[in-house]
């Protein structure tokens, strides 16, 4: 099982297709529970920090954007405030609080220069929401307002890190100040869309999905025809990102309607909240339909009952027994 980041503050609400229509969903992947994380009260009760320029230890090697950095040991006493420096200024989208950021990072202890976590060696950038209770507060305050393409270095005192309890599994003590270098690759929010190339939708027997990329919900026009008996998973917009594997988690926008009548029963657009989940935790039709598809794509998925909910749809979902489901899914990132 893939190792999760140590940065997650608290496991949040589980998102699976079994919970369609749950408007209280927080959008976090359930695998967060694998990481040794303090609870939300330990990481989100502090007032906003004062942000200062330093001191911060030197980056002695790996000085280019998205290159694994080597960071010197902290010299003297670290700031009691949140020290933040934009080492490389990017020119992309500005990160807002509650956005999901895609970033590579390295974290180490100020006093010892011990590296306790980094994504560069895993060759998998972190995708995480900058929301209270989802990540240590130092990240929220340090990265909000920064632009994609930026390298940001910051030091986090215990107050806005892991608190007095530290993080035993990571070797972080309750009085440790942490130093991070973060390369911000991308940022996503409720207005994000897939950005792939349009693919012809020529099969009159299949639903037609809108190709708008303005962050608004795409239209789904279901034909007046019998539903397919087998799974359908076709590109509407084909991205050029990495392919999604069967073991992966993904960050998505989606909209679901019933084949019979075309009534919408679930949508991230309506909730104004992106969703992330593991393909191992969703109905078979989602898992099979998204496996092998590329990040940046919009995918039409038509799920027959035997790969969906069959005769046991979620209570209160508006889905009848043995319903064929139609989804438009924007794959924003692989986690």
Whether 27 has a pLDDT exceeding 60, the answer reads no
pLDDT at 15: 28
Share above pLDDT 90 across residues of the chain, in percent, rounded to a whole number: 82
115-118 and 100-109 strand pairing: antiparallel
Cβ atoms 322, 293 nearer than 8 A = no
Whether 79 has a pLDDT exceeding 80, the answer reads yes
Q: How far apart are CA 267 and CA 323, in angstroms?
A: 17
Split at pLDDT 50, 70, 90, the class of 31 is: very low
Cβ atoms 208, 236 nearer than 8 A = no
Region 54-60: what's the mean pLDDT? 98
Residues 111-121: pLDDT tens digits?
999 999 999 99
Between 12-21, 72-81, 257-266, the lowest mean confidence (pLDDT) is in: 12-21
pLDDT at 37: 27
Reduce the DSSP state of residue 121 to 3 states and report it: coil
Whether 6 has a pLDDT exceeding 80, the answer reads no
Split at pLDDT 50, 70, 90, the class of 25 is: very low
Q: What angle do CA 306, 308, 312 make, to 5 degrees?
A: 90
Whether 59 has a pLDDT exceeding 90, the answer reads yes
Question: Smallest Cα–Cα separation from 59: which of 105, 8, 94?
Answer: 105
pLDDT at 185: 98
DSSP 42-80: HHH-SPPPPEE------EEE--STTSPPEEPPP-SPPPS
Residues 269-309: pLDDT tens digits?
999 999 999 999 999 999 999 999 999 999 999 999 999 99
pLDDT at 46: 86
Residue listed under structure tokens 């139609």: 326
Whether 33 has a pLDDT exceeding 80, the answer reads no
Split at pLDDT 50, 70, 90, the class of 335 is: confident
**H-type alpha helices, the chain:** 40-44, 137-143, 268-271, 284-290
Model pTM score: 0.86
Region 185-207: what's the mean pLDDT? 97
Region 218-233: what's the mean pLDDT? 97
Region 235-239: what's the mean pLDDT? 98
């Amino acid at each position: 099982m893939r190792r999760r980041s140590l940065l997650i503050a608290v496991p949040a609400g589980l998102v699976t297709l079994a919970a369609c229509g749950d408007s209280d969903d927080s959008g976090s992947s359930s695998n967060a529970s694998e990481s040794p994380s303090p609870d939300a009260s330990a990481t989100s009760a502090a007032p906003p920090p004062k942000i200062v320029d330093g001191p911060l230890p030197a980056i002695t090697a790996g000085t280019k954007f998205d290159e694994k950095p080597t960071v010197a040991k902290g010299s003297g006493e670290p700031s009691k405030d949140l020290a933040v420096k934009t080492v490389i200024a990017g020119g992309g989208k500005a990160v807002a609080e509650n956005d999901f950021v895609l970033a590579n990072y390295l974290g180490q202890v100020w006093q010892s220069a011990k590296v306790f976590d980094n994504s560069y060696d895993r060759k998998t950038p972190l995708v995480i929401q900058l929301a209270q209770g989802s990540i240590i507060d130092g990240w929220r305050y340090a990265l909000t307002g920064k632009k994609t393409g930026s390298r940001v270095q910051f030091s986090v005192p215990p107050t806005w890190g892991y608190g007095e309890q530290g993080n035993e599994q990571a070797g972080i003590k309750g009085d440790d100040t942490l130093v991070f270098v973060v390369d911000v690759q991308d940022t996503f929010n409720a207005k994000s869309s897939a950005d792939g190339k349009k693919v012809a939708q020529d099969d009159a027997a299949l639903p037609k999905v809108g190709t708008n990329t303005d962050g608004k919900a795409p239209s789904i026009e279901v034909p007046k025809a019998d539903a397919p008996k087998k799974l359908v998973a076709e590109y509407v917009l084909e991205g050029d990102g990495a392919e999604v594997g069967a073991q992966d988690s993904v960050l998505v926008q989606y909209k679901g309607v019933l084949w019979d009548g075309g009534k919408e029963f679930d949508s991230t657009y309506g909730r104004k909240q992106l969703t992330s989940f593991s393909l191992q935790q969703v109905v078979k039709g989602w898992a099979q339909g998204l496996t092998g598809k590329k990040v940046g794509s919009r995918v039409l998925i038509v799920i027959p009952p035997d790969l969906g909910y069959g005769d046991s749809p979620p209570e209160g979902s508006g889905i009848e027994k043995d319903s064929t489901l139609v989804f438009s899914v924007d794959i924003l990132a692989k986690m």
